[in-house]
Structure 1
Amino acid sequence: MRTGLVIYASSIGRLAEFYSHVFGLDAVESDSSYMLLVDGDFELVLLETEISKTALNSHEPRENTPLKPTFFIDTRLELIGEKVKEKGGTIYPPKSWEFGGRQVCDACDCEGNIFQLRVGKNA
């Protein structure tokens, strides 16, 4: 099964640069209102609308969003953390617990969207 996620953006270019840099996603198609980024069976659609351009212009973490995308990584947390910071995001201290055999850590992208990292034991 392919999996995907749509994130509304105030700037698809900036957000695409963030997710491409941090997770190595490749842009495969776009126009002025959207960009499709992919890696294997995962698709990330960044969608820019008139409402998202104005409503999402604050880059403060959006703690009240009812969804939190999760990215499973097998890269050292320090390396991913540097990539997140390089593109304007924030990485939070790792949680003191594991979930599904992986260390859990939250982060925030350059537009304030909070996501979770689950780091493999071999990272």
Structure 2
Amino acid sequence: MAPVPAAVVFVADVARVAAFYCDVFGMARLEGDAGYAVLARDGFQLTVHALQGEPMPLGGVREDAYVKVCFPVRSIEAARAAAARAGGEIWPADRAWEAPSRGFRACDGRDPEGNVFQVREAL
């Protein structure tokens, strides 16, 4: 099997954050244990990996992460509601922006541990 595009997000509570990405983005759990979970959707894998003793960020948001994962969604509004139910959030509609040349509207959000991600819906 060939490798697929992937990203890793480091968290304190693997089970909670993995459930968030499955619930909000329809990812499927491929494998894992208490220390990690590999999730997949549409040829992309996200590994949710346990932190090695690092503290939670001040204010609860890791905005200065080196990687921001962008997820395609059918509806930012629907994803916003799902994120809230799952313990995260997607910023309010007034913080969304459009990239007409690339065909999408985008908005950032955070998972339950403050890792920032982006959702994108087609224009």
Q: Shorter-chain TM-score: what band?
A: 0.7 to 0.9
1:3 equivalent in structure 2: 5
Identical aligned pairs, as a percentage? Answer: 28
Q: Secondary structure at the match of 1:117?
A: strand
> What is the letter of the counterpart of residue 25 of structure 1?
M
* Per-residue deviation, 1:117: 1.1
1:79 equivalent in structure 2: 78
d(CA) in 1 for partners of 2:51, 2:111:
19
d(CA) in 2 for partners of 1:57, 1:46:
17
1:67 equivalent in structure 2: 67
2:41 equivalent in structure 1: 39
Alignment root-mean-square deviation, CA: 1.9
* Displaced runs of 4 or more, over 4 A: none
Give the TM-score taking structure 2 as reference length: 0.85
1:1-123 map, 5 Å: 2-52=4-54, 55-56=55-56, 60-73=60-73, 75-94=74-93, 95-98=96-99, 100-121=102-123
d(CA) in 2 for partners of 1:30, 1:9:
14
* Per-residue deviation, 1:58: 6.2
Give the TM-score taking structure 1 as reference length: 0.85
Give the direction of change, closer, same or farther, for the CA distance of 1:111–1:57 in structure 2 (3 Å limit).
same
Structure 2 residues not aligned, in runs of 5+: none
d(CA) in 1 for partners of 2:29, 2:45:
10
Q: How many residues align?
A: 118
